[in-house]
Amino acid sequence: MARTLWLLGSLIAVGIGYILYEPSFDPESLRGARVVITGCSSGIGEQMAYEYAQMGAKVLITARRENRLKEVVAKMRELGAQEALYVAGDMGKAEDCERTIQTAKEKFGGLDILVINHLASTIDNKFFQFLWDGDMDYAQKHIQANYVSYLRLASLALPSLHRNSGSIVVVGSAAGRFGVPLNTLYSGTKFGLHGFFSSLRQELHIQKSNVSVTYIVLGAIDTVLGKKAIHDRGLDTKQQMAPVSSAAQAIIRGGATGQREVYYPWGQIWTLVKVWDFFPQVADYFLELSVIDGPKKLDRSPLLE
Ligand SMILES: *[C@@H]1O[C@H](CO)[C@@H](O)[C@H](O)[C@H]1NC(C)=O
């Protein structure tokens, strides 16, 4: 009996240790690293650009708004980036993805870290606030910009990342691990990315490539877009928003140490994902409640009229 308890205790301790284990991370290891980050005009992308800059990396950033990119690049240089460049473009377009990776290869001579982070949320204002209505034009645009482009960028960068034993970091979402109402397309693309990159990780491993693949499971982060997502479901934007700088640091650390997945904010998001895995009905109940109870009045989907 005592022996069984002892064994059980050890197993639980090992389990907890495994969950809490974080490989040590030396920011110095990123000095001179050649990094591409997409979606850097605001939010977490912008913050990651500053964090990598402070660590003395060579960084190329992208976004659609050139005036914003110029400002971000100027600040990155002040913060100590070895090099700071930008490519203004729309990652939903194949030629802009190609131009981004090509520029990094030409200017940096290769690539060590690709952080795919962009979110074409401004294709129109429906984002985060509509019940699925069967709008296939919108779906196509969304999938092109927020899913296909991730596959494209990773594929373009892979030969160089392979030569340099580099890292792919995919900024995903908790909505890529469980469904969330008013989020059909967002959740769909983030789930898709989780599936694609989980398979890719295995394939790289089978082929003895050292390229690591990290999927980031983000909760509500205190960015303009994060606030919009909370606000649009009629919830209080003051609660439960994790700071953008620690989100950016968690992503950078996860990529640099080649972790499979990073949950941020850790406790809350890890728990939610596990509850959804084991008790999906319970999780659904609360996730549905968060919308039904919101002050926002939802119209019915036209598909149900
Ligand atoms: C992967 O890393 C190992 C250990 O650092 C190294 O021996 C090997 O050459 C690397 N493989 C490739 C394809 O770079």
What confidence score (pLDDT) does residue 7 get?
86
- What is the CA(251)–ligand 1 centre distance, in A? 24
What confidence score (pLDDT) does residue 300 get?
83
Handedness of CA 173, 174, 177, 179 (dihedral sign): negative
What confidence score (pLDDT) does residue 227 get?
76
Q: Please check whether residue 108 lies inside any domain of the structure.
A: yes
What confidence score (pLDDT) does residue 20 get?
66
Q: Please check whether residue 3 lies inside any domain of the structure.
A: no
Q: Please check whether residue 305 lies inside any domain of the structure.
A: no
pTM higher than 0.85, yes or no? yes
Long-range Cβ contact pairs of 99-103 (< 8 A, separation 24 or more)? 100/36, 100/38, 100/60, 100/62, 100/153, 101/36, 101/153, 101/156, 101/157, 101/160, 103/60
Q: Please check whether residue 302 lies inside any domain of the structure.
A: no
Q: Please check whether residue 14 lies inside any domain of the structure.
A: no
What confidence score (pLDDT) does residue 75 get?
98
Tokens representing 163 are 């030569």
Atom 9 (ligand 1) nearest CA:
210
User: Ligand 1: which atom is nearest the Cα of residue 163?
Assistant: 14
Tell me the CATH number at 119.
Answer: 3.40.50.720
What confidence score (pLDDT) does residue 220 get?
83
What confidence score (pLDDT) does residue 5 get?
85
Q: Please check whether residue 11 lies inside any domain of the structure.
A: no
Q: Which of 186, 215, 263, 264 is labelled catalytic?
A: 186
User: Ligand 1: which atom is nearest the Cα of residue 210?
Assistant: 1
Identify whether 186 is a catalytic site residue. Answer: yes
What confidence score (pLDDT) does residue 155 get?
98
Q: Peptide bond before 265: cis, by omega within 30 degrees of 0?
A: yes
- What is the CA(21)–ligand 1 centre distance, in A? 24
Q: Please check whether residue 72 lies inside any domain of the structure.
A: yes
Name the residue range of residue 257's domain. Answer: 27-296
Q: Please check whether residue 209 lies inside any domain of the structure.
A: yes
Residue segments in the chain with a per-residue pLDDT below the cut of 70: 18-20, 121-125, 232-239, 293-297
What confidence score (pLDDT) does residue 234 get?
65
- Total domains, the chain: 1
pLDDT digits (tens, 9 = 90+) for 107-155: 999 999 999 999 986 555 677 778 899 999 999 999 999 999 999 999 9
